[in-house]
Amino acid sequence: MLRLWPLLLGVNFSFTGDGERNGTAVGLDNYRDLLEDPLFRGALRNVGLLVLLLPIAVAIPGLLATFIYLRVPGHRLFRGVYFFPAVLSPVIVGAIFNLLLAFDGPLNAVLGGAGIGPVDWLGNPHVAMFAVVGVHIWATFGMALVVFLAGFATLDGALLDAARVDGASLPQTIWHVIVPGLSRTIQFVFVTTMIGMLTSMFGLLYIMTSGGPEGSTYLPEYYIWIQQGQMNRPALASAASTVLFMIMVVVGLLQLGLLRRSGRTE
């Protein structure tokens, strides 16, 4: 009850007006405003983009964990180094990458040295969202890596030895032995990475792009914050929160179903 009651108040609040119409019931006006606002539609599109980028965000820690498990030279060092960014707060990570990705920053200097023209990482609307997602993956994959390593601990070493004796190449070993053996771990990482992407990008966006350029890096969370705090439209923000909540419910249910199904097949 304590959890549901404020939620219901919020939903109810989203059917009231802002400013001069404060407190009066306005029906679905706020939701109509949302649908007509290109900024909010852009924010939803970006959520879709995050879902599309999810496999990459899972594959990177998966591959790196595989290399560590297969004891590539220096794997002890890599294990520590990869985990390190996970302990940094998004604000610090954002500030670091603001410097690195600045137009006259070190990354562009390196590119310039290689004869490639500078890229306006955070100023080009076609690039900025990928830059921020890239930084988010960099900052958080350490946690997924640890989960993968824990999964490897349960993998039967005899299977790998058998594969090696049979002369399987590395890609063959990964595809036929490691991926099937880790299917539950992979699913778990998918779910947690998705939740991480949808709920904890705010800090990075706030520090790195402020939703810009051209509003290209808005996510629903950031939109809610802007409408409530800067535009003084709390009821519209409530409507946006309700929409975001619905999306999270749907995504959450899908993922629960996925986890449950995999639990049954084991």
Partner 1 sequence: MKQRARWSVVLVAGLVLAGCGSASEPDSSSGGSDGKLVVWDWKSGDPSAASYIERAKADFARKHPGVTVEFVAQPFEQYYTLLGAAIQAGKGPDVMLFNGGGQIRDRVDSLVPLDEYVGDDRQRLAGWEAFTKDGKTYAAPVTLQGHPIYYNKSLYQRAGLDPERPATDWNEFVANCQAITRATGAKCFAQGNKEGIGIQFFLSGLGSGVLPPQEYDDWVAGKRNWTSPGVKRVFSLWKEVNDQGLNNDGASSTAMFNDAFAVFQSGKASHVIGLMSDIGHWKDFAEFLEARNVGVMKSPVVTAGTTPSLPYDGGIGYAVAKWTKDPKAAADMVRSLTSTDALKVFYADAGAIASDTTIDVSSAGPAVATIVSETKDGKPALHVALSSKTLDLMGRLSQQLLSGSVTVDKAVEELAKSDRAG
**Contacts to partner 1 by CB under 8 A:** 4, 8-9, 11-13, 15-16, 19-20, 22-25, 39, 101-104, 118, 120-125, 128, 209-210, 212-215, 225-226, 228-232, 234
Q: Which residue has the tokens 């297969």?
A: 70
Task: Kindly give the residue spans of alpha helices, DSSP state H, lying in 23-127.
Answer: 29-36, 38-69, 75-83, 90-101, 106-113
Distance CA 94, CA 43 (A): 20
DSSP structure class, residue 227: I
Distances (CA, A) of 262 to 56, 144, 185, 252: 21, 19, 10, 15
| Amino acid identity at 186 | I
Q: What is the CA radius of gyration of the chain?
A: 22
Residue 231 exposure: Cα atoms within 13 Å on the Cβ side = 13
What is the CB neighbour count within 10 angstroms for residue 144? 27
Beta carbon nearer to partner 1, 187 or 228: 228
Cβ(62)–Cβ(148) below 8 Å:
yes
Burial grade of 247 (CB within 10 A; 0-12, 13-18, 19 or more)? middle
Q: Which helix (H) or strand (E) holds 2?
A: none
Q: Which residue has the tokens 């670091």?
A: 96
